[in-house]
Structure 1
Amino acid sequence: MTTFTAGARQELLSSRRERMPQVLLAVFVGMVTASSVIGWLTNQVVTSVYDRTFAAGLTTQPNPFSAVSPLYYAKNTVIYIILIGALLAIVLGVQSTIRDRKAHTFDLVLSRPVRPASYLGAKLAGLLCWVAGILALSALISWTSISAIVGSVLSPGDTARLLGFYALAWLFLLPFIILGMLTGVYSRRETTALLVPIVIWSVVTFVVPQLGTAAHPVSLLNPVPAIASQGGVFQLANLVLGPLSLTEHFKQASAFVLGDTATTGSPLLSLVVMVAFAGCMLVVLLTTQRDRMRSPLDE
């Protein structure tokens, strides 16, 4: 077993034992399940009302759910990934490096001929495998529940789109995992290591999109991307800050993957921005210096 493989395996096992990620995991999976149940109840209630209205001759319009894509029921998962999934990724990243600093594992490992980039890369690989497992479970729940709602097994095309959406979610969570790892390495206190990335997440999720779109903060919890304001200072702010609106780009790309024809914009641009975010964060992580990793935490 290579050093990289051993490090990734150890990180995977250690992350599974942490209590806070377990709580966030339970909340995330629970919300995905609840979203499916809500979608099913909405379908049943609306269809029941429509059937009675149609039978009474009060309407000739088709059932509003008759032309809805099966993946419509997965739309709200976008918000759960942005809110709960991103926080889970941050906590995983912070605890990954803080754990090694508190136990002086960095000192022990880096006293051997092990490159910092290799060790941090192994830890990141373990965390990415853990997150991939969470998303795979969520995808299975979504696939099963949507099939139950529509009354038939999802087609291969819809299944591929659903898997593509969760692959996109994995890419979206990557920068937040790295952000947590970096603050865990660079912060002097454990509380600061957890607080700083959460503040950055809130700025990226709410402040930056609001400055460029003048959208109400509550509307940013909608899975549909916010529409940029035309003219004035908000349009200028959107041109400058638009590339930094990572969550809005995730919404944009997710809408395209899930087949939402009502959303406009370039999904390719959004994908490029997400890859660029992940690439830049990865470079910063892998260039972390040995002395920085071995710095002690303040008591």
Structure 2
Amino acid sequence: MHDLVQPVLTIAGKDIRDAVNDRFVILITAFLLLASLVALAVAAIALKGDVATYAEAKAGLIALGKDASTIPDPAFYPLKLLRGFVEHVEIIGAIIGILIGYRAAASERGRQTLALIVTRPIAQWQFLAGKVLAGTAIISSGLVLAFVVAGASVILISGVMLGPEDIGRLAIVMSAAGLYALAFFLLGFVTALWAKKLPNALLLAFTVWLGFVLIAPQIGDTLDPDNQVAGGVFKQLQIAKPQQLEILQSFSTYETIRNGIEVASPTKHFERLSFAILGIKDTYAGQPLMPILAEKTSDLVWLLAIALALGLLLFARRLDPNRLSKE
């Protein structure tokens, strides 16, 4: 067993050390943190103002003789502040995944060592597994740092503490973010391994990124009639849920096409899952975690299926040393 695992760990360790020495990976991770913190700070300051307003109003009522126990506590949902953070993870996290995956293959091809490696007495799966293990570790480290900073910032800026369940929700979303970024890592790695010319690989990977991260979700949101009015058309018109379903049945074909465009995107699945678990979408704010997880299992399964499909694609194809030299 040691002889099987040791080459994997050796390759992974080498890639991790190279990534630590590569300032570019550190810089784009820092950019994710900075962009997310700016969005988070704006929302957190607004929440802090709401908390202060409530405290002043409560103090005023108590001063007038109101019994403090009869004053209802407002429902503050600090995890709602992470909307901008999640949206940045959707875009920048996918870019980081692609670049780390591309670099994992390009670093070997650029030094013209990849063709040599696959002819050495090491199984192809060990080489690929080492690369994927390193990429997973690098991505996970960056996301753990980002989510810890985001959670701490919510507390420090807004003044609202996070409970154990809030931390658990953050951990679930962080895990989903890791799976999401891993899918794009595999995309960048596969294209860089197989393309005859490395620039073409990066172009192809970012074309896929553009289609599935930016275009497909935007088309789905734009074509959704309920998104055309703040809060939703149904909510503004106070239409009950049964009537909503009846109305939607009249547009079933249109809705099927629109939703199909949305669900083709792993970004949309990650967003739906994250917005529900964190209570960013009003429908799920204050709701118990387990029913939300049960409802959103399909989104998690989609993310897992996409990552597995790319992984199987990677390991199923035989590497050809004659095509791996730098061109």
Task: Indicate the TM-score class for this superposition, using the shorter chain for normalisation.
Answer: 0.7 to 0.9
Whole-Å separation in 2 of the counterparts to 1:159 and 1:147? 12
Alignment of 1:149-188 (within 5 A): 149-151=157-159, 153-188=161-196
Whole-Å separation in 2 of the counterparts to 1:67 and 1:142? 21
Deviations 1:223-259 (A, max 9, x none): x9xxx99727642423544441211111111122213
Question: 2:40, 2:84 within 8 Å by CA — same for their partners in 1?
Answer: no
Aligned to 1:246: 266
Match of 2:301 among 265, 268, 272: 272
> Secondary structure of 1:289's match?
coil
Whole-Å separation in 2 of the counterparts to 1:5 and 1:55? 60
The percentage of counterpart residues that share the same residue type is: 21
TM-score, normalised via structure 1 length: 0.82
Give aligned pairs, total. 282
Distance 1:87 1:296, change over 3 A: same
> Secondary structure of 2:20's match?
helix
- Displacement of 1:55: 10
Task: Name the amino acid aligned to 1:256.
Answer: A
Distance 1:263 1:289, change over 3 A: farther
Match of 1:43 among 32, 47, 51: 47
Pairing 1:281–2:315 present: no
Pairing 1:118–2:118 present: no
Match of 2:25 among 21, 27, 33: 21
Match of 1:8 among 4, 12, 23: 12
> Secondary structure of 1:76's match?
helix
Whole-Å separation in 2 of the counterparts to 1:10 and 1:268? 36
Question: 2:191, 2:202 within 8 Å by CA — same for their partners in 1?
Answer: yes
Deviations 1:31-84 (A, max 9, x none): 232233222322345556778899999xxxxxxx94221211222211111111
Task: Name the amino acid aligned to 1:5.
Answer: L
Name whichever of 166-175 and 31-40 sits farther off.
31-40
Pairing 1:209–2:195 present: no
Match of 1:196 among 191, 204, 208: 204
Distance 1:229 1:34, change over 3 A: farther
TM-score, normalised via structure 2 length: 0.76
Aligned to 1:61: none
Task: Name the amino acid aligned to 1:135.
Answer: L
Distance 1:212 1:47, change over 3 A: closer
Distance 1:229 1:20, change over 3 A: farther
Aligned to 1:106: 114
Q: Which has the larger radius of gyration?
A: 2
Whole-Å separation in 1 of the counterparts to 2:53 and 2:161? 25
Whole-Å separation in 2 of the counterparts to 1:28 and 1:103? 29
Structure 2: unaligned runs, 5 residues or longer: 62-72, 233-247, 285-293
Distance 1:230 1:39, change over 3 A: farther
What CA RMSD, in Å, does the superposition of the two structures yield over aligned residues?
3.1
Deviations 1:17-41 (A, max 9, x none): 2343222111001123223322232
Whole-Å separation in 2 of the counterparts to 1:282 and 1:94? 15
Question: 2:114, 2:324 within 8 Å by CA — same for their partners in 1?
Answer: no
Question: 2:40, 2:85 within 8 Å by CA — same for their partners in 1?
Answer: no
Distance 1:236 1:164, change over 3 A: closer
Distance 1:210 1:158, change over 3 A: closer
